[in-house]
Amino acid sequence: MSAAHNCACCRAPVNPAGPPARIGKKGLNPEQKRRLAVLVFSLAVFALSMVFEAALRSILGTRGLYFIYALPYFFCGVPVFKSAWASLRSGDYFSEFSLMGFATVAAILLNHPAEAVGVMLFYSLGEFLQELATQNSRGSIRALLASRPNTANVLENGSTRAVPVEEVEPGARLVIRAGDKIPLDGLVLSGSSQLDESPLTGESMPVDVGIGGRVNAGCINLGGVLEVEASGRFADTHMARILDMVEHAMSRKSPTERFITRFARYYTPAVLCAAALVAVLPPLLQEEAFAVWIYRALVLLVVSCPCALLVSVPLGYFGGIGLASRRGILVKGGNVLDGILKTRAVIFDKTGTLTRGRFTVTAVVPAPGQDESALLQAAALAECASGHPIAVSIMEKAEDFQRPENLKIREIAGQGMAASCSSSAGVEDVYYAGNALLMRGLGLAVPEVREPGSVVYVAHGGRYLGYLLVSDSVKPDAAEAVAALKARGLKTALFSGDRSAVVSFVADKLKIDSWRAELLPGNKVEAIASVAPAAGVTFVGDGINDAPSLAFAGVGIAMGGIGSEAAIEAAEAVILNDSPLKVDELYSIARTVRKVVRQNIAGALGIKFLIMVLGLGGLSGLWEAVFADVGVALLAVLNVVRALRKHT
C-alpha cells in the first residue's frame, strides 16, 4: 500500500482530463453544475427503474432492465473508474475509487444490479455534497486570499497607470481612491480618509488616517482620495506575510492529524485481509454458499475506507485556522491549536503587549550641574535610530534635534543604545541611553526612581547626565484578558526588562499571579523554564528581545501590529490588532476544534464498527456500507461547519 491514503475527500480526485474547475466565491461553478445535472438525471432514472421494476422487466426483459440500470451506473461510475485506474497506475491499490469500483462490479456479478447502481449513485452524490460542505467551511480562508490587492495605481508625470503590485518599487507614489484596496504599506502624503482594516485585524470599526499616517496593504479606503508613498515591496507587507502564513499553515500538522494518517496506513489493509477471510473461511468451514459470504465481504470492503477520519480531522484544524484568521489571529499550523491546549501558564511581556506601547516623556530630570536641553539632545543622539516606542517618544520630545552625518549607533541587547560621532576636534564622543544595568556597566552611579514609568538614563563621555521618565498606559482590555485566562485555571505571569516599580504596578493593577522585572532576553528564557515545562507555557510578546522567549515557549504569540519582524517570525501565532484578549479567544477556538475532532473520530469509528458487525451477521448490506463510508464523512464535514458557525 502506498504511504498515503488516496481518497477523494482527503485530496482532490485524480482527474485525467485536467485539473478541477476553480471554486467560485458563491454558488456552483460550471463544472459543479454539470455534475449536479448528471446526478439528478441518474437519480431520476434509478428511482423510476426501482418503482416500475416489475413492469419494465415484463416489457423489456431482464437484459433490458439491466440496460436501464446501466445508464446511471455508467454516468456516475466513469469518473470513479478513471480515478481508480490513475490510482492503480500510481501504486495506490487500496484507494477509495478502486475499492468502490471493485465492490460494485462484484455486486453486479452476484446478481445485485440495483444495489450496485445505488451504491455508485449515492457514493457520487455524497462526494458532491461533501465537496460543497468543505468548500463552505473554507470560506474564511478563501475570503482572506481574495482580499489580496492585485494592482496599484502609480502616479507618474501627473498621470496614473495600473501596475502589478509585485512590480511597484519602494518610494513610488500611489493614488488610492474611495473603495480601493490599499496595495502596499506606506505613508500618507496627502488626503485624509477612514480605513476598513477588517481584512487584516478582523475589527470592523473604521480607522481615521491623515497626512503622515501609516497604511497597510489589504485595508480598504472608505473615504477620500489618498496619495501614499510605498515604504517597501509587496513581499514585505503585512498582507503578504498573512497570506504566506495562512497558505502554509496546514503543512504543520497537529499530533492528532499525524496519528490518524499513520492509523489509516494499517487500518485499511487490516480490514481488507479480514474481508478476504470472511469471503473464504465460512464457506470452507461450514459448507455455506460462497455468494452469501462474498457479499458480506463486499460490505466490509466498502466500509473499510477511512475517508471520514482523513477528511474530518484536517478539516477541523483547517476550519479552526480559518476562523482564527477571520478574528484577526494568524495561526501558523494545526499543531499550534493542539499546543495551546497544553498550556498551564500564560506569560506576558509588558510594553506593547499589556500596555499600549505609546509612550510620552513625562519628566526630564538632569543631574546636578547639567542642562535639560543638553540631556534631551544626548538622549536623542543615542535613540534616533531605534524604532522602539520609548525611543519614538524621546524623539518626539526632542523637537529641534538634528542627526549628525557621521553618527554611528549600536544596540546593547537588553540594556539600551550607544551612539558615537567625531567632534570638530577629531575626538570621538560616545552617548549612552538605557537602563540602570547599562549605567552600572559604565561604572556610573544613578539614582533609584520610584515613580511608575520607564526610566531612560543618559550618559556622555563617562559622565551621568540625568534621566527621562517615560510613561505608558495599560490596554483597556488587558485586565479582562488576564481575568478570562485565570478563569480557565491558567497561571498568569508578567516578565519584563523594565524596572521593578513599573512591572509591579502593572501586575498589581491587572491582578497577575506573579512577575519578574529587569530581565535580559536570556534571563526571560530561564525564567520561563522555572515557571513550568516549556511545552506547558504560552508566551505573549512583541519586541525583538522577546524572540528567544517566543521560540522557546510551547506556544509563542506575537503582537503583529506593533511587534518586530523577529518576534513575528519566531512566534507560532500572531495577533493582528494587538489585543491581549485574543489569547483567550485563540484558546477557545482550539477547544472547539479539539471537541469537534474527537466527536468526528468517535462517530466515524463507532458507525464503521457497527456496520461491520451487522454486515458479518447479514443484517446490513451495501446501502448501509456506503453510508458508513461517504455518509459518515459528509456528517463529519457538516459537524465541523456546525461547530465553527456556532462558535462565531
How far is 545 from 125, CA to CA, in rounded Å? 55
Could you say which of 338, 349, 472, 584 is catalytic?
349
Helix residue ranges, H only, 344-418: 372-383, 389-397
Q: How many CB atoms lie within 10 A of CB 617?
A: 9
| Maximum alpha-carbon separation in the chain | 117
Only one residue has cell 488610492, namely: 176
**Which helix (H) or strand (E) segment is 505 a member of?**
helix 500-510
Contacting residues for 420 by C-beta, under 8 A, at least 6 apart: 407, 408, 409, 428, 429, 430, 431
| Three-state secondary-structure class, residue 204 | coil
Only one residue has cell 536623542, namely: 380
Cα–Cα–Cα angle for 345, 350, 353, nearest 5°? 85
542 is catalytic: no
Q: Which of 557, 537, 535 is nearest to 546 (CA)?
A: 557
Q: How many CB atoms lie within 10 A of CB 569?
A: 15
What's 302-342 look like in SS3?
A: HHCCCHHHHHHHHHHHHHHHHHHHHCCEEECCHHHHHHHCC
Supply the Cα-derived Rg of the chain in whole angstroms.
33
Only one residue has cell 455508467, namely: 74
How far is 553 from 58, CA to CA, in rounded Å? 75
| Three-state secondary-structure class, residue 460 | strand
What's 140-186 look like in SS3?
A: HHHHHHHCCCCEEEEEECCEEEEEEHHHCCCCCEEEECCCCECCCCE
Residues identified as active-site: 349
